[in-house]
Structure 1
């Protein structure tokens, strides 16, 4: 007949499974844990790990957006040191920055103490001491 039947040495079962060889104990341990874990729990863990990884990436993205926002605000500041809503709106459009508005950025900068209102639609940068 050609092939040999594989049997479990403990129970004699002929239900065969794919056999894998692992190069290190860590890989073997992970494979055993994964095969012994109920599918529902494995799915839940996968969702939580994915969510955790996304949260880890967000601060980096937020920093990147923040630096883009500051760059747009600096770009919109005139030679006289004044920033206006219209100049910031144009700068955001020119730099292709979406997801915020000139009003929100200026409001946040005022709240953080970076800008002070000088007129109806005009702000000046406050000097930061180092």
Structure 2
């Protein structure tokens, strides 16, 4: 979805794993060391989100970091698919990712805001809580 026509190959020699990304128009596959930080990050997020044994809960804190803007919609679709099998919490400051996630049927959007230096969820009552005795 993110890299149309591309193929990822994972091989290994002498106990080392090697990742190669083949893309249309390139004469040879690109090794992991030749990929951008954003591409590597996207591939790692993909591996986590498509796990055959998903965790009960996965938290993604600003997954858009280092990603090209064109990768945000495909990432939102991956997160939407993963949310059908696992509970995901995504923290993001990227409006494009938030909007793309809002379009996913399995996603629910909660927007936090700052009030007097405190992060709150508008429309909810703060839980009763006090500092414990020392």
Interval of TM-score (by shorter of Structure 1 and Structure 2): under 0.3
Give TM-score scaled by structure 2 length.
0.23
**Bigger Cα Rg:** 1
Higher RCO structure (Cα 8 Å, ≥6 apart): 2
Give TM-score scaled by structure 1 length.
0.24
Q: Which has the higher strand share?
A: 2
